[in-house]
Structure 1
Amino acid sequence: MRHKTLAHFTGIFFTFLILNVFHLQAQYTVKGILVDSLTHESEPYATLRITLDKSPDKPVRLNVTDTKGRFQEKLPHTGNYTLQITSVGKRTVVRRFTITDSKRVADLGTLYTCDDAQMLKGVEVVAQKPLVKAEIDKISYSIEDDPDSKTNTTLEMLRKVPLVTVDGEDNIQVNGSSNFKVHVNGKPNTLMSNNPKEVLRSLPANSVKSIEVITEPGAKYDAEGIGGILNIITTDTKMQGYNVTLGANANNMGISGYAYGTVQVGKFTLTGNYSYNYQDQPRSLSESGREDFTSTDYRHLSTGGSSKNKGNFQFGNIEGSYEIDTLNLITFSANIFGGKFDTQGDSHTSMSDHEWNERYSYLTRNRSTNQFGNIGVNADYQHSFKKKGEYLTLSYKFNNSPNNNEADTYYDEVKDVPFSLPHQYFDNEAHTAEHTAQIDYVNPFNSVHYMDAGMKYIYRENYSDSQYFLENAQGEMEASQNLSSKYQQGQHILAAYADYQLKWKKFGAKAGVRYEHTFMDVEYDYMPERNFKAGFDDVVPTLNLSYMLGMSATLRANYNMRINRPGIWYLNPFRDTSNPTSVSYGNPDLDTEKAHILGMTFNTFSAKFSLNANLTYTFINNGIERYSFMNNGVQENTYGNVGKSQRTRLALWMNWNPGSTTRLSLNAGGDYADYKSKELNSHNSGFSGNLFANVQQTIPWELRLSLYGGGSTPYVSLQGKGSSYYYYGINLSRSFLKEKRLNISLFASSIFQKYNSYRNETVTDTFRSWSNSSYPSRRYGISISWRFGELKTQVKKTQRSITNDDVKAGGDNKTGGAMQ
């Protein structure tokens, strides 16, 4: 019945969509084709600017011709219009036309242009910039040249950016992947990287100049294995004014609110952002099982239970600048992020022999609190030279990420258990603190050659203090020296990089190298005999090649080496024994993981259709893997540099705009992975794939409708495999008031299913285990945002700043898991 309802709903929607698209064809339209008057060849990617005669300074449409020089633009209403078509090296074409109710389509036919003799003599002619620009390592979308930026938020504009997909719940993917970093004016923004949709939803688009999608990070970035970078370039216009945006969101799992504002006082410019989120999720369900091949008496272990999670998190930042003069600029920023989640869980455990006769059982009750946060401060000084694009930047950054976990575990209904189950409590305090200093120099020698170089120093401290308490015979909680641990790891990282770029006709090349020396000092307060020091060097090369196949198509090839240093949750030796049948702990002896990536990319884009196809091959010889093994009937879980992997992936991104009010996008990918470990005597391989599709349509009454869905096949890992999944949703929104300053959205996802279930399986020579987790999936609610004031300025930024993205995050306590 549920599937019939879904099919019926989907059929009605697509029937309505098709009828609406046909209805749009009857709306006001101007069309034509632009060709060269001498060669009669089409003029692709010439810029179109359409204005009403009564307001010539405000374009109603801004776009480019397609690959064959054609254009067809929808117009808002009747009136007298002027069309200007500009192209570098060509004379501007100007045509006036009129749209009435009786003449809804203005067919301008073939328009001719020719070389501009004055421009050829060296006279500068100012023309409108194309909206999209492809470079050797990135694609840029000009937000300021798009008229919609005057009323939309940055998140709404992000839907137009090539290689970026935003679904109905505002989840963002870059180049088909959700694993990306967010930078602002070339420097990392922790808030946006952790919560991009919340922050970008509160950022007005008229404060953004352009958005860059950096698909192949070069040597100037830390050698961290990320899929790409979303770089938001803000405007630096020096005007007075202010802008404030307020918003709120309410759904069946919680509420949130946010505020964004910008203001200028004299030479100082400030911008600030704050958001608060509260979540109260319905109860989650879990079950698991294990078969121990080495035992007959204790063969089968079964566990089933549930947990309830609720809490809050909030974040905010402030950024400012002071322009000493036209060549010297000082900027600063500070951000704070933190939250607390409480979890209550109960589970029943039963052990049986090889004939399924129960040997023992018990009930576990767990109450835990997870507190997390991040505090960061940046300061930059930039000196610009008289040559355009040449500058020197000095930067300092401090970042601290405290985490505290407390858990209280006790047992009921204990039956024939052959080991002790005392009431236990642990308090685990951990943090990662960083001090970073950096210097960067950039020099564009000319239009063909470009060079940049820099040096960087990082001092990073990973600290963990885990106190474990057990109930003694007198019923008192007593500290356990054997289970407690105190651990400190200091890292000194010195890095230097150099990049060289060549642009010659249709060919482009970018080569770079990064050298990193790491010195590590590890101390254990309770086990000083384990203290050690180590040092190692990494040379990280990068190479990108590109060739323009035409005005709209590019072929690129690249090689990148990336390294991942393990984070605190991989390194922490603290043993979590709250589940006596399955113990987890980190490995402080982990080494840096090195990945080698070979890739080839083809992309083509136009006003109507865009395509990006990416083929990559990645191999890792010392991969950090989470693995499990049996030890006297107890499953132990930890990490090690024990993996060798090869992965070949083909990713496809497509976007089609059949009309000005319709957009269809697709993200699809498939890969074959092969995992091996000589140390664990394990080998696993297999295919997996994923698909995401999104349909956006403007319907009558200026309503914006979005329908999306996607899913994935099971994935493989070193010792097992995961499960498949699927999801779907719908979003309906409308803007009100003058200049569309008030926006209201209704949204719903997974409305026909209460839970999403995920199954994982691990198979080794000594045991087989599986787990099945069910999380609440049905979601529905309303979102409201209101923008007031007139933004006339934005914080001016240095061209370079510090980015630390070399750490591999992970563990059960990472903050991202609490905000899903």
Structure 2
Amino acid sequence: MKLKTILALIFLMIGSVASFAQGIPGKSAIRGRLIDSATRKPAEFVTVSLSNTNKQQIKVVAGKIDGTFVMTDIQHGKFVLNFLLLGYNTKTIDVTIDNSKQLLDLGEIVINTASKQLKTVSVKAARPVISQEADRLAYDVQADPAGKHSTVLEMMRKVPMLTVDGEDNVQLNGASGARIFINGKPSSLMERNAKDVLKSMPASSIQKIEVITTPSSKYDAEGVAGIINIVTNKALADGYNANISLNHRLPLGGPSVGGAYSTKSGKLGLSLFGGAGSANTPTTTNDIARTGKNGATSALFQYGDREKDDRNAYLGIELSYELDSLDLLSGQFNINGSKGTGSIFQNSVLRNNGVVEQVYDLFNQNDNNGRGADAAINYQKGYRRHKNQLTTLSYRYFGFANEQNADQRFANRLDYDLPNFRQANRSIMNEHTVQLDHVYPINKSSIEAGAKAIYRTNESDFKYLSADAADNYAIDPAKTNTFNNMQTILAAYSSYQYSAKSWSVKAGVRLENTIIDADFLTTATQVKQNYFNVVPSVVFSRRFKTTGITFGWNQRIQRPGINQLNPFVDRSNPSFETTGNPDLRPTQGNQIRIGFDRTGKWNLVTSLVCNWINGLIFPVSQYDEATTITRTRFENTGGAIAAGTNINFTYPISPALGLSLNGSLVHGWADGISNGQPIKNRGFMYNCNLATNLKLNNGWRVGANAYLNGGQLTVQQRSNAYVTTTLNASKDIIKDKLTFSALVNNPFDKYRLNVTNAFGPNFDQLSNDQQNFRVFGASLNYKFGKLKEAIKKNKRGINNDDVSN
């Protein structure tokens, strides 16, 4: 297998390198300088757009403070240049580029001030919130007024194909397993406790949320659902820019602060974002009713309450230094930490044929804390022959550590003799990655190729301590172990992109070989695995005047992460034990997507999607009638299919009133095995978000939002539907600088009941989990600083999107 892998990697790289030796025809550039007709001074920051003779926009650049602009990489032909600046008449120039003009210098271009006063200027078209490319779509958070007072997690409910369930888990096309990036790169912020960070991250600190629906072969093959990329606010140059947001939510949630800062001086650029927050969950009730069937006669009922408090903080930094016009050195560093405490009270009653057999009260005190960090350095080399030809060499380190501790004490026992006990689990992950990428443009085409090596270690040290009659605790060796998991991943990829007029096609293949060596140190047992994957992808797109269509197909795999591999047995509820499985193998999935979009006065983005997965990794629950314990363990069994549609529609009813609709409808088929018997689950999953906002006088804006979630479906579970509502108002205290916002979520319901139905061959189970629902919130957002141009960043970097959580 190793020889086969090495030969495949060599042939792939040879084919790609051979293509680099070919040349491309030259392209041309346009430059000029805009002058105010009255003052003869430079016109600052003019928007310059280039369109073809069919009025299709090809390129847009922004002029500089001295009035100059440069537009490069232009094909030969006839074009129209448009110059736009608020307060000036639009100016249009016809230009022709041919082989004799490598540089077209237009010299000074005079633009005239508009004869109308500024107050008569009206906006003819709203800034589009949704944009779509061949392999992704993007939601412009800055174009949505709700971005001033919402968190990133709340904004995700508006993004096409994304769903946020009742427990704040983010799903893509109704499936878990999506990877979440920051600025196109994996981040420790999203590896440990993504939903807690997303709940505390203000939406005002990010630019857009991208959904990469058909990841190309340059991405690791991991992530059967796809990739979600959060793009922080753009950094500009020669100056500084910053924003800070203060938020408070009660009774559910708490205070949080977040912001971003960017600066550039000469060749050195710095960008950072960070925040901290508190998430308090007041006391709520819950109950579980489990009944046996097919001869199983016992019935368990548990009732209790719980509360928890969580805190987290995060910081991300990016640096770039332009060695010269072609060479760029950049780096990133992210760090995050979290700490939480909680308590659970539970009364448990077990009956057999209606007769009480066992009773106890359980008091659980638990705490958890963790920290994560990642750092990367990238060297990017450009080439004079073509600005898009790039070679990038990158190194990245990533690691995190999580600790869980729980103290279980029993009281009011009836025929229950399990002693008080304590559990402790410490899990650590470290990885080192080296990656080489090369991009080579050829006329209307582009070839990308690269190679990558990852060395990853997962460690888990779990302990179980039992108390004796004198309340002295000692380690139970039978329930204690140390687990080490080492992974070596070798990969290579090649992709090809071709664009002609309105057509575009992108295809590629990725080869990955994974070697796993796992050890149970305490029991002296081992697990060894070696598997090889060939992962293809292809995307077609066609643009028309105001519409576009896309078609994509790709294969993905999903390797199990430490939480799924870890054999630590969580016994915090003695009647329900959960554990990982070190024998898990990767899941393999396929996705087909057909998309359509329209832009204009109203905007529409819709698609048809079908996912099918083999060897599905999912938690299998098995009920043991002899011990009356339900044991849940991750398994590679069964498969799943999810097929459906999603739609996003925005319409400006008037210049002051806007309406948007975002929704999806998916039918799921899931099959598996429990207690040696086949099980299956079928049903629809749906969600819909309807939002409207009204702009009033004097900087006021009000809005309303209604979100319907139709519940989630897994192999052995189904959750209920629910509706959330939000009313919000905001006021620009200082225009485009200081904004105050207030909101109320679900003003009509203090609590929501999350109902989950679970089943197996010999049991049925109903869980009712009360959740705090009514929330009041307020936020203050402040922007300041002045910048001019974008900080230069490397265009390639390490993306380790190859494991699931």
- TM-score range for the pair, normalised by the shorter chain length: 0.7 to 0.9
- Rate the CA distance shift 1:728–1:69 in 2: closer, same or farther, 3 A: farther
- Which residue in 2 is equivalent to 1:567? 561
Cross-structure match for 1:612: 605
- Could you tell me how far apart the structure 2 residues matched to 1:57 and 1:155 are? 37
**Counterpart in 2 of 1:33?**
none
Matched to 2:523, the amino acid is: M
**CA 1:509 to 1:213, structure 2 compared with 1: closer, same or farther past 3 Å?**
same
Distance 1:166 1:270, change over 3 A: farther
AA of the residue aligned to 1:693: L
TM-score, structure 1 as length reference? 0.78
1:329/1:381 contact within 8 Å kept: yes
Equivalent residue, structure 2, for 1:349: 348
Alignment deviations for residues 649-695 of structure 1 (CA, whole Å, 9 cap, x no partner) = 11111111233333211111112111122554112212232111111
**Does residue 656 of structure 1 match 2:651?**
yes
Deviation digits for residues 762-800 of structure 1 (CA, Å, limit 9, x no counterpart): 222211112111111111121012233333566431110
Match of 2:329 in 1: 330
CA distance in 2, matches of 1:676, 1:380: 44
Kindly indicate whether the alpha-carbon contact (under 8 Å) linking 1:503 and 1:509 is maintained by their aligned counterparts in 2.
Answer: yes
Provide the residue aligned with 1:375 in structure 2: 373
Q: Of 200, 214, 217, which aligns to 2:215?
A: 217
Distance 2:667 2:415 in 1: 47
CA distance in 1, matches of 2:592, 2:400: 34
* SS of corresponding position for 2:698: helix
Matched, 1:538 2:529: no
CA contact (8 A) 1:451 1:500 kept: yes
Provide the C-alpha distance between the structure 2 equivalents of 1:409 and 1:440, rounded to a whole number of angstroms: 52
Matching residue within 675, 686, 695 for 2:670: 675
Aligned to 1:627: 620
CA displacement at 1:255 relative to structure 2: 0.6
Q: Is the 8 Å Cα contact of residues 684 and 718 (structure 1) preserved in structure 2?
A: yes
Secondary structure of residue in 2 paired with 1:482: helix
Q: Distance in 2 between matches of 1:518 and 1:192?
A: 23
Any idea what the Cα deviations from partners look like across 1:51-81, whole Å, max 9, x if unmatched? Answer: 999999579999999xx999xxxxxxxxxxx
Aligned-partner Cα distance in 2 for 1:198–1:445: 45
Q: Give 1:92 deviation, angstroms.
A: 6.2
| 2:464 aligned residue | 468
CA contact (8 A) 2:181 2:227 kept: no
Correspondence for 1:443: 440
Q: Could you tell me how far apart the structure 2 residues matched to 1:287 and 1:517 are?
A: 46
Change in 2 beyond 3 A, CA 1:271/1:312: same
Contact 2:270 2:317 in 1 (8 A): yes
Q: Does residue 1:455 correspond to 2:451, yes or no?
A: yes
CA contact (8 A) 1:288 1:304 kept: yes
SS of the residue corresponding to residue 714 of structure 2 reads: coil
| SS of residue matched to 2:453 | strand
Paired residue type of 2:404: N
Identity of aligned residues (%): 25
Question: Given that residues 406 and 422 in structure 2 are in contact (C-alpha distance below 8 angstroms), is that contact kept between their aligned partners in structure 1?
Answer: yes
Equivalent residue, structure 1, for 2:517: 521
1:320 maps to a residue whose letter is L
Instruction: Give the direction of change, closer, same or farther, for the CA distance of 1:91–1:580 in structure 2 (3 Å limit).
Output: closer
Structure 1 range deviating more: 264-273 or 705-714? 264-273
What corresponds to 1:14 in structure 2? none
Letter in 1 for 2:679: S
Output the amino acid matched with 2:652.
N
- Matching residue's letter, 1:621: N
Closer, same or farther in 2 for the Cα pair 1:261/1:614, shift >3 Å?
Answer: same
Quote how far apart the aligned CAs of 1:736 are: 1.9
Please list the CA deviations of residues 306-352 of structure 1 after superposition, one character each: whole Å capped at 9, or x if unmatched.
10111311111222112111111111111111111101110100011
Conserved in 2, the CA contact under 8 Å of 1:382 and 1:394?
A: yes
- Residues of 2 paired with 1:634 and 1:651: CA distance? 40
Name the structure 1 match of 2:693: 696
Aligned CA-pair RMSD: 4.1
Residue 52 and residue 343 in structure 1: after superposition, are their counterparts in 2 closer, same or farther (change >3 A)?
farther
Q: 1:669 to 1:300 in 2, by over 3 A?
A: same
The range that moved more, 625-634 or 743-752, is 625-634
Task: Describe the superposition over 1:220-263 as per-residue Cα deviations: whole angstroms up to 9, x where unpaired.
Answer: 11112243443638767552x22333321122131112343233
What is the Cα deviation at residue 707 of structure 1? 0.8
Alpha-carbon distance, 1:514 to partner: 0.6
**Superposition deviation, residue 526 in structure 1:** 1.3
Deviation at 1:711, TM superposition (A): 1.3
TM-superposed deviation, 1:713: 2.2
Could you say what secondary structure the match of 1:637 adopts?
strand
Consecutive unaligned residues in structure 2, runs of 5 or more: 1-33, 57-76, 112-126
Deviation at residue 734 of structure 1 after TM alignment = 1.4
- Aligned counterparts, 1:141-540, within 5 A: 183=181, 186-191=184-189, 194=194, 195-196=197-198, 198-199=200-201, 201=203, 203=205, 214-223=212-221, 224-230=223-229, 232=231, 238-239=237-238, 241-252=239-250, 253-264=253-264, 267-293=267-293, 299-354=298-353, 356-386=354-384, 387-417=386-416, 420-446=417-443, 448-528=444-524, 530-540=525-535
| Deviating more after overlay: 642-651 vs 462-471 | 642-651
How much has 1:278 moved relative to structure 2? 1.5
Q: Is the 8 A contact 1:119 1:125 kept in 2?
A: no
Identify if the C-alpha distance between structure 1 residues 212 and 410 changes in structure 2 by more than 3 Å, giving closer, same or farther.
Answer: closer
Q: 1:174 to 1:641 in 2, by over 3 A?
A: closer
Q: Would you say the 8 A contact 2:741–2:778 is kept in 1?
A: yes
**1:61–1:155 Cα change, 3 Å:** farther
Deviation per residue, 1:137-170 (Å, 9 max, x gap): 24579999x999xx999989x9999959999x9x
Structure-1 separation of matches of 2:283 and 2:136:
43
- Is the contact made by 1:139 and 1:162 (CA closer than 8 Å) also made in structure 2? no
In 2 relative to 1, CA 269–119 (structure 1 residues): closer, same or farther, beyond 3 Å?
closer
Unaligned runs of 5+ in 1: 1-48, 71-87, 100-107, 810-820
Structure 2 distance, partners of 1:750, 1:570, is 35
Distance change in 2, residues 1:384/1:198 (3 Å): farther
Secondary structure at 1:551 match in 2:
coil
Q: Alpha carbons of 1:629 and 1:262: their partners in 2 closer, same or farther (altered >3 Å)?
A: same
Taking the aligned partners of 2:376 and 2:287, their CA distance within structure 1 comes to 46
Name which of structure 1's ranges 536-545 and 315-324 shifts more when overlaid on structure 2. 315-324
What is the distance in 2 between the residues matched to 1:472 and 1:639?
33
* Structure 1 residue 212: Cα displacement: 5.9
Contact 2:507 2:537 in 1 (8 A): yes
**Contact 2:163–2:173 (Cα < 8 Å) also in 1:** no
AA of the residue aligned to 1:362: Y
Of 484-493 and 180-189, the range deviating more from structure 2: 180-189
Superposed CA offset, 1:117-152 (max 9, x none)? 646896859999x989754324579999x999xx99
Query: 1 CA distance for matches of 2:80 and 2:360?
Result: 84
Q: Secondary structure at the match of 1:312?
A: strand
Q: Is the 8 A contact 2:603 2:650 kept in 1?
A: yes
Alignment TM-score, normalising by the size of structure 2:
0.80
**TM-fit CA distance, 1:726:** 1.3
Which residue of structure 2 aligns with residue 640 of structure 1? 635
Is the contact between residue 185 and residue 797 of structure 1 (CA under 8 Å) also seen in structure 2?
A: no
Please, which moves more after superposition, 459-468 or 653-662? 653-662
Matched to 2:542, the amino acid is: Y
For residue 563 of structure 2, give the secondary structure of its aligned residue in structure 1.
helix
